[in-house]
């Protein structure tokens, strides 16, 4: 929701990416935002809040984010959040290409101090 619209427009949060066993055990930051609200910085703002919670409240050592390589907007958000491209892989069940980004707690703290 936004100040102008009280309806649900998407979500941002942390979850284990169980669909990709090769990166486990870890936690992923992810977002799904209604396309009508793209380009307003909402994914970046929510992603920063989720990373802050993950690192400073939950004490996670590392957080990943995963997208399809064609989803340039999402990996640009990941880069704005300070995440770095770690590797490309494929979804084990669907076979679609995936791009994995990572951010370590010490990198987050350096970037936000």
pLDDT at 2 exceeding the cut of 80? no
pLDDT digits (tens, 9 = 90+) for 6-52: 888 899 999 999 999 999 999 999 999 999 989 999 999 999 999 99
> Any idea what the CATH number is for the domain that residue 23 is in?
3.40.630.30
How many domains, in total, are found in the chain?
1
Q: What is the pTM of this model?
A: 0.92
Sheet containing strand 97-104, strands side by side: 10-15, 28-33, 62-67, 97-104, 84-90
Q: What is the extent of the structural domain holding 33?
A: 10-112
In-domain check, residue 5? no
pLDDT at 1: 56
CA-CA distance, 88 to 67, in Å (whole number)?
A: 10
Ordered alpha helix ranges (H), 14-104:
42-52, 72-80
In-domain check, residue 72? yes
In-domain check, residue 4? no
């Amino acid at each position: 929701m936004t100040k102008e619209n009280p309806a649900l427009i998407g979500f941002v949060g942390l979850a284990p990416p169980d669909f990709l066993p090769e990166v486990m055990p870890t936690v992923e930051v992810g977002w799904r935002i209604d396309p009508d609200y793209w380009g307003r910085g909402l994914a970046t703002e929510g992603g920063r809040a989720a990373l802050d919670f993950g690192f400073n409240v939950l004490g996670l050592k590392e957080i990943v984010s995963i997208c399809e390589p064609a989803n340039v907007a999402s990996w640009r958000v990941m880069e704005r959040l300070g995440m770095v491209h770690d590797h490309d892989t494929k979804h084990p069940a669907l076979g679609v290409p995936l791009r994995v980004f990572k951010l370590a707690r010490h990198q987050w703290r350096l970037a936000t101090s």
